[in-house]
Amino acid sequence: MTKRLLTLSTLFLAQFIFSAPVYAQKTLDECIKMEETTDKQSRCFDHVKEVLERELQTWVNNHVFNLEEKALVTGRYSALKMFKRAQSDFITFRDNDCRWQYLAISPREGADIAYKKCYISVTQNRITALSMVP
């Protein structure tokens, strides 16, 4: 029963997640094309960031769930601990990687847009990496 439930939840999760990046990319492209006002473009990037952050959290939750299930069966929690550490390190890396780009442009206009583009790109790469893990 548990294995069947896990399979169904994984299929549902995969269907949801694989549809989101296309939506996020389409929206990202739309944001880039917006040159009317920096404010409007910035809000557009904020929306894409929120969508991707939710998607990333879904992938993280899925991996944590799967690793917890394996740990309960095997009694080995090292993979779960390492995954949580890797995710924490990723968050730190993403913040620092995008922050230096912001600071390199600042105080000129567009620094916030550069930060958001970086944040979106790095997050999309992480989602792609997590989606490839069985």
Residue 21: which CATH number? Answer: 1.20.1270.180
Cα separation of 38 and 36, whole Å? 7
CA distance 69 to 109: 48
pLDDT of residue 40: 83
Better-scored residue on pLDDT, 124 or 3? 124
Its domain, for residue 74, covers 2-131
If one counts every other C-beta atom within 10 angstroms of the C-beta of residue 134, the result is 3
- Select the more confidently predicted residue: 71 or 42: 71
What would the mean pLDDT of 12-26 be, rounded to a whole number? Answer: 50
User: Would you place residue 76 in the very low, low, confident or very high pLDDT band (cuts 50, 70, 90)?
Assistant: very high
Lowest pLDDT segment from 36-50, 64-78, 95-109: 36-50
9 pLDDT exceeds 60? no
Q: Is 52 exposed, middle or buried (0-12, 13-18, 19+ CB in 10 A)?
A: buried
Mean pLDDT value across residues 85-111: 94
Distances (CA, A) of 122 to 11, 36, 56, 106, 112: 25, 26, 11, 20, 15
Judge if pTM exceeds 0.85: no
| Predicted pLDDT at 17 | 46
Longest dimension (CA), the chain: 58
> Where do the H-state alpha helices sit in 34-110?
38-74, 78-105
Of 31 and 99, which is predicted with more confidence? 99
Q: Quote the number of domains for the chain.
A: 1
